[in-house]
Chains A and B, each alone.
Chain A
C-alpha cells in the first residue's frame, strides 16, 4: 500500500482506538489535519493548546486509557508543555503529537521552530522525534504501549512536516500498542506482607492514586475490611473508597482532617498502596508515621524507599498483589483499633457553620453539591482553596469521579478536563468546581464547551482572591497581603453568555442553594458564579515544612467558620 506519513499516522491512531482528538492546527501539522478529512477520528477544536492537552487528560483520567492531543510546532508545542508535565506528575497516560518544521530546516531557527524534543525530554516518560515515515510504524504503537504500561505517563511524538508529506510503501500495519503485563511480585514478598499485617496491632492503609490507576479500589477496600485497617487517602485516591465507608478516615496531610493525621501518629504499620509519600501528604517526612513500620506496594520500583525507607517493598500491579494477599490473609477484628479510629473521626469533624446559617460556606456548598449531583457525576477542580474544600467535603463514592491536578497543581486544569471527561463519558453529569482565579487561566475553553454542547456545569467559588495565596500570606507572612486580591473581577455570568453558555450569578440573599439547584437542572453547559466569603480559610492546615500533628484549625478572628 502506498501512503503518506500523515495518512499512516491517522491510520495508526484510528487503530489505537482514538475517537476524540483535541488539538489546534497550524502550519507544521497541516498535512496531518488534511489526512484527518473523512476519518473516524473526531477532531475537537480547542482554543488553546494547553486546553487541548487537558481535554485529553480528562478523557484519559476518566477511562484509564491513553488519550492523544495535537498541536503544531513552536508555540503550539510550548503551549502543550504544562499539560504534559501535569500528566507526568499525576501518572496520566497521554500521547502528545506535535508538528515540527521540515528536517532540512531543523536547527536553522526556522519560523515556529522550537526544540520540542529537548523541551519534552524531562517531562515525559519517553519522547520521539520521527525521522522517517517508516519509523511511525514502530513509534506510534510504542508510544501508546509506553504511556499505558507500568506506571502510566505522557509520551511525546514530534513529527516533522516532510515526514508527514513523505510517500512510502508499506506491506503491513503493526498491532496497536497496548499495556504490557508486568512481572509478578514474588510469593515470598506477599507472604511476608500477610505476616506483617497479621501481627500488626494498629495497621493503617494509605491509598494513593495508584489504587485507582490499577483498578484495585474494590480489592483494596475489601482487604482493609478483612484486616480491620482504617483507610486514609491522598488527594489522588479520593473516590477509591466511598466516603461513608466505616473504615474511611478521609484525606491525610496538609489539609486532611485532624483525626486522620493523629491516627497515623498512632499506627504501628502503614501499608502504602500506589502512593508516593508526597510532601503535601506526609508533612515533615522524618516525623511522618513515627511509630509505624512502612510497607509499600508500588508499580514503580524507584518509588520504594524514595522518600521513606520501607521495611517491605512490593513492586508490581496493585490489583494482582492485593488479590493474592486476600487469599492469604485471615480476617481480623481489631475492635479496639477500629473504635479508636471511629473515636478520632468523631472527635475532629470538619469545622463549618450550620447550613441554614451559612449556606454558601464552601464546606456546606460542597456537601450540597454532593446531594444534588448523582453518585457517578464526574467532578473536576482547578487548584486552590476550592480544590481543598472539594477534597475535604465532597462525598466521593466511586473511583475516577474526581479529576484534579494533584502533583503539578495547575490552575486552569478544571474546565478543559471537564470537557474531556464529558466527551469520554457520554451521558454522565460533569461539574467543574473552580475559583475566580483559576477559571480565568483557561476560560477560552468555554468556546469549545459551547461548540461541543456538553453537559458540563462550571461552578465558580468566587471570593475575589487568589484564596490559598491570601491564606498563606495571612498565616505565614504576617498578613502582608501582596498580589492576592483582585481589585476588579469580571462578570463571569456575562462572560459565559458571551461565549454562548448559560450564565447564572447567584444572589446570596435570596435562597442561594435553590438558585444553584435550579441552575443545575437546566439543559446543556452552564457557568454558575457563586459569591463566597472573601476571607474564609481552608482548615485544618499543616504549615509547610511542619509535621502533620501540628495542624492549625479555624480561629474565629480569621475564619468565617
Chain B
C-alpha cells in the first residue's frame, strides 16, 4: 500500500512553484534604479547580466560609462521592485568586479528614455 501522503505529494509536485522567500513585499512595478561602480574589464558585464538572467529577473534598462581613469565604470540599472530584488542586490555586491551598489531613488527611469532619445536614429 502506498503511503497516504503519496497522493498528496504527487499533486503538490504538479502544482505551482512555491516561492521560498518569506520576506515578500507586495509585488509591484515600482521602478528601482541602482548605481554600480565596477572594475572595467571584459567579462564584468557578463557577470552582472548573467546574475539577473539566472534569476529570471528582468533588466529594463542599462547604461554603462567608464570613469576617466579607465579602470572603473559606472553602471545605471533600471528594474522593477520585486521581492527578489534584495537577494539580487546582495549577490551583485558579492561579485569581485563590483566595487559598490547604491540605490538611486533620486533618479527617475525617464533619464534612460531621455538619453536614448537624444541619439539620432540611423539614416536608412
B5 at the interface (CB under 8 A from A): yes
Chain B interface mostly helix, strand, loop or mixed? helix
A557 at the interface (CB under 8 A from B): yes
Say whether, besides A122-B54, A302-B94, A545-B13, A476 and B46 are in contact (CB < 8 Å): no
Say whether, besides A122-B54, A129-B42, A545-B9, A478 and B2 are in contact (CB < 8 Å): yes
- Among candidates A118, A309, A544, residue contacting B23 with C-beta atoms closer than 8 Å: A309
Q: How many residues of B contact A (CB 8 A)?
A: 30
Chain A residue contacts of B9, Cβ below 8 A? 476, 543-546
Is B22 within 8 A of A126, CB to CB? no
Chain A residue contacts of B21, Cβ below 8 A? 306-307
Chain B residue contacts of A301, Cβ below 8 A? 90, 93-94
Is B54 within 8 A of A479, CB to CB? no
Is A545 within 8 A of B12, CB to CB? yes
Chain A residue contacts of B94, Cβ below 8 A? 300-302
Smallest Cβ distance from A295 to chain B, in angstroms? Answer: 15
Say whether, besides A307-B20, A546-B5, A117 and B54 are in contact (CB < 8 Å): no
B10 at the interface (CB under 8 A from A): yes
B58 at the interface (CB under 8 A from A): no
Smallest Cβ distance from B43 to chain A, in angstroms? Answer: 6
Smallest Cβ distance from A189 to chain B, in angstroms? Answer: 18
A118–B50 alpha-carbon span in the complex (Å)? 10
Q: What is the chain B residue whose CB lies nearest that of A282?
A: B20
B47 at the interface (CB under 8 A from A): yes
Smallest Cβ distance from A282 to chain B, in angstroms? Answer: 9
A479–B50 alpha-carbon span in the complex (Å)? 41
Is A552 within 8 A of B1, CB to CB? no
- Among candidates A121, A475, A557, residue contacting B47 with C-beta atoms closer than 8 Å: A121
Is B20 within 8 A of A302, CB to CB? no
Q: How many residues of A contact B (CB 8 A)?
A: 35
Is A475 within 8 A of B2, CB to CB? yes
Chain B residue contacts of A546, Cβ below 8 A? 5, 8-9, 12
Interface string of B1-37 (1 = CB under 8 A from A): 1110110111011000010111100000000000000
Chain A residue contacts of B20, Cβ below 8 A? 279, 285, 307
A336 at the interface (CB under 8 A from B): no
Chain B residue contacts of A550, Cβ below 8 A? 5
Is A308 within 8 A of B43, CB to CB? no
CB contacts between A and B, total, < 8 Å: 73
B100 at the interface (CB under 8 A from A): no
- Among candidates B1, B12, B23, residue contacting A305 with C-beta atoms closer than 8 Å: B23
Is A146 within 8 A of B96, CB to CB? yes
Is B5 within 8 A of A552, CB to CB? yes
A122–B63 alpha-carbon span in the complex (Å)? 22
Is A475 within 8 A of B22, CB to CB? no
Is B87 within 8 A of A302, CB to CB? yes
Q: What is the chain A residue whose CB lies nearest that of B1?
A: A557
Chain A residue contacts of B10, Cβ below 8 A? 476-477
A1 at the interface (CB under 8 A from B): no
Chain B residue contacts of A127, Cβ below 8 A? 43
Q: What is the chain B residue whose CB lies nearest that of A543?
A: B9
A478–B42 alpha-carbon span in the complex (Å)? 52
Interface string of B93-106 (1 = CB under 8 A from A): 11111000000000
A400 at the interface (CB under 8 A from B): no
Smallest Cβ distance from B97 to chain A, in angstroms? Answer: 8
A552–B7 alpha-carbon span in the complex (Å)? 13
Interface string of B63-102 (1 = CB under 8 A from A): 0000000000000000000000011001101111100000
Is B22 within 8 A of A543, CB to CB? no
Smallest Cβ distance from A141 to chain B, in angstroms? Answer: 13
Interface string of A472-494 (1 = CB under 8 A from B): 00111111000000000000000
Is B87 within 8 A of A479, CB to CB? no
Chain A residue contacts of B43, Cβ below 8 A? 117, 121, 127, 129
- Among candidates A125, A306, A479, A552, residue contacting B96 with C-beta atoms closer than 8 Å: A125
A295–B79 alpha-carbon span in the complex (Å)? 31
Is A118 within 8 A of B46, CB to CB? yes
Is B96 within 8 A of A121, CB to CB? no
Chain A residue contacts of B50, Cβ below 8 A? 121-122
- Among candidates B6, B23, B90, residue contacting A475 with C-beta atoms closer than 8 Å: B6
Chain B residue contacts of A478, Cβ below 8 A? 2, 6
A126–B97 alpha-carbon span in the complex (Å)? 9
Q: What is the chain A residue whose CB lies nearest that of B10?
A: A476
Is B3 within 8 A of A475, CB to CB? yes
Most buried by A among B1, B23, B42: B23
Identify 6 residue pairs between A and B in the complex whose beta-carbon atoms are under 8 Å apart, listed by A's number.
A117-B43, A121-B43, A308-B22, A474-B2, A476-B13, A543-B3
A residues neighboring B (CB under 8 Å): 117-118, 121-122, 125-127, 129, 146, 279, 284-286, 300-302, 305-309, 474-479, 543-546, 550, 552, 555, 557
Beyond A301-B94, A309-B23, 5 extra complex contacts between A and B, CB < 8 Å? A146-B96, A543-B6, A552-B3, A552-B5, A555-B3
B residues neighboring A (CB under 8 Å): 1-3, 5-6, 8-10, 12-13, 18, 20-23, 42-43, 46-47, 50, 54, 86-87, 90-91, 93-97
Identify the 10 closest CB pairs spanning chains A and B, nearest first: A302-B90, A543-B9, A126-B96, A545-B12, A309-B22, A309-B23, A552-B3, A476-B6, A307-B20, A285-B20
